[in-house]
Amino acid sequence: MSLHELNTFPGVTAEPDAATQQFVFNHTMLRVKNIEQSLDFYTRVLGFSLVEKRDFPDAQFSLYFLALVDKAQIPSDDAERHTWMKSIPGILELTHNHGTEHDADFAYHNGNTDPRGFGHICVSVPDIQAACERFETLGVNFQKRLTDGRMKNIAFIKDPDEYWVEIIQPNF
Amino acid sequence: MSLHELNTFPGVTAEPDAATQQFVFNHTMLRVKNIEQSLDFYTRVLGFSLVEKRDFPDAQFSLYFLALVDKAQIPSDDAERHTWMKSIPGILELTHNHGTEHDADFAYHNGNTDPRGFGHICVSVPDIQAACERFETLGVNFQKRLTDGRMKNIAFIKDPDEYWVEIIQPNF
């Protein structure tokens, strides 16, 4: 579909209000049961960096902010890093309610069975074949391998809470 | 918390595998009931641009990809735009299962009541006071106004499916 058709689609405001000019889609928040497992998955498997942690001891939860950027881009000054990570797109916020990791029966809902809503997050990679082979080597769980189903150009892996992470390659 | 502490937190891999170097946190997918209402909200209220639509008539659903960027950044060539929007962070994917908008009883689950999981997306704005006043003028529904609760520096608005959209200001 052409850009003209997209801009004239029902509901679409083609010329955004100037007031929205510097708006940034900053982050997506997911609740996770076991923060150590989630940090391992997002940093070791997917290459995210932990760029901020905020604790709320009274309410017994902590927030973890992760960015998938070149390490050299991350400001070392704490205040500067705080402002930076609130001003860029592509941040992942993980919420950990303390203690959930000790409850064997506790599980979050990944949105893909009833009641449905949120579907997945997606990581774009330069070489999807190589990325999927590496995920296999690392023992990552797949929801859909490249060879499964009709769409051979996308895969879905699962994070420790079974949230789906789509894997795509821009020019594939 | 210092960057050193963040890098040595349990679970964190401080030096990501070189294989992840060009990985990009590309998008977040949400299912929406009424696509026209959602496109109106995300383009008119928040300033997103619709950059791609993909139809799956056999399975009766369509995908809409939105980017919150300067219009000048959007490639007009369709193939170029497709590759571009799969290579940048901060894309929002809306999935519309055809016909849900005609079912009065149909509703998606926003993740913030049981069973919980996904929490919210977040848009960063240059002036949160001005942004919230504009949302009030536009009749947007709030989950939390700036003046509500303890945290006076964040607000939450609700999209047409009642997904929460956090509003923050980087230096506030």
The total number of residues written for chain B in this structure: 172
User: What residue type is assigned to position A25 of the chain?
Assistant: F
A-B Cβ pairs (cutoff 8 Å, strict): 277
CA distance A78 to A80: 5
Kindly report, residue by residue over B74-108, the tens digit of the pLDDT: 999 999 999 999 999 999 999 999 999 999 999 99
Q: With contacts defined as CB-CB under 8 Å, which chain B residues touch A78? A: 1-3
Complex ipTM above 0.95? yes
Residues linked to residue B12 through DSSP beta bridges, in sequence order: none
Largest separation between any pair of C-alpha atoms in chain A:
53
CA distances from B107 to A121, B31, B136, B139 (A): 21, 10, 24, 21
- Cα angle at A52 between A77 and B169, to 5 degrees? 85
The structure tokens listed for B133 are 């006043």
B interface test, pick of A22, A116, A118 with most B CB neighbours within 10 Å: A118
Kindly report, residue by residue over B139-171, the tens digit of the pLDDT: 999 999 999 999 999 999 999 999 999 999 999
Kindly report, residue by residue over A13-38, the tens digit of the pLDDT: 999 999 999 999 999 999 999 999 99
Count of Cβ atoms closer than 10 Å to residue A93 Cβ: 22
DSSP 8-state code for residue A3:
H
Question: Do the Cβ atoms of A50 and A65 come closer than 8 Å?
Answer: yes
Q: Could you give the domains of chain B?
A: 25-108 (3.10.180.10), 118-172 (3.10.180.10)
Kindly report, residue by residue over B5-41, the tens digit of the pLDDT: 999 999 999 999 999 999 999 999 999 999 999 999 9
In which band, very low, low, confident or very high, does the pLDDT at A172 lie, cut at 50, 70 and 90? confident
Nearest CA in chain A to B74: A3
pTM of the predicted protein model = 0.98
CA distance A68 to A47: 6
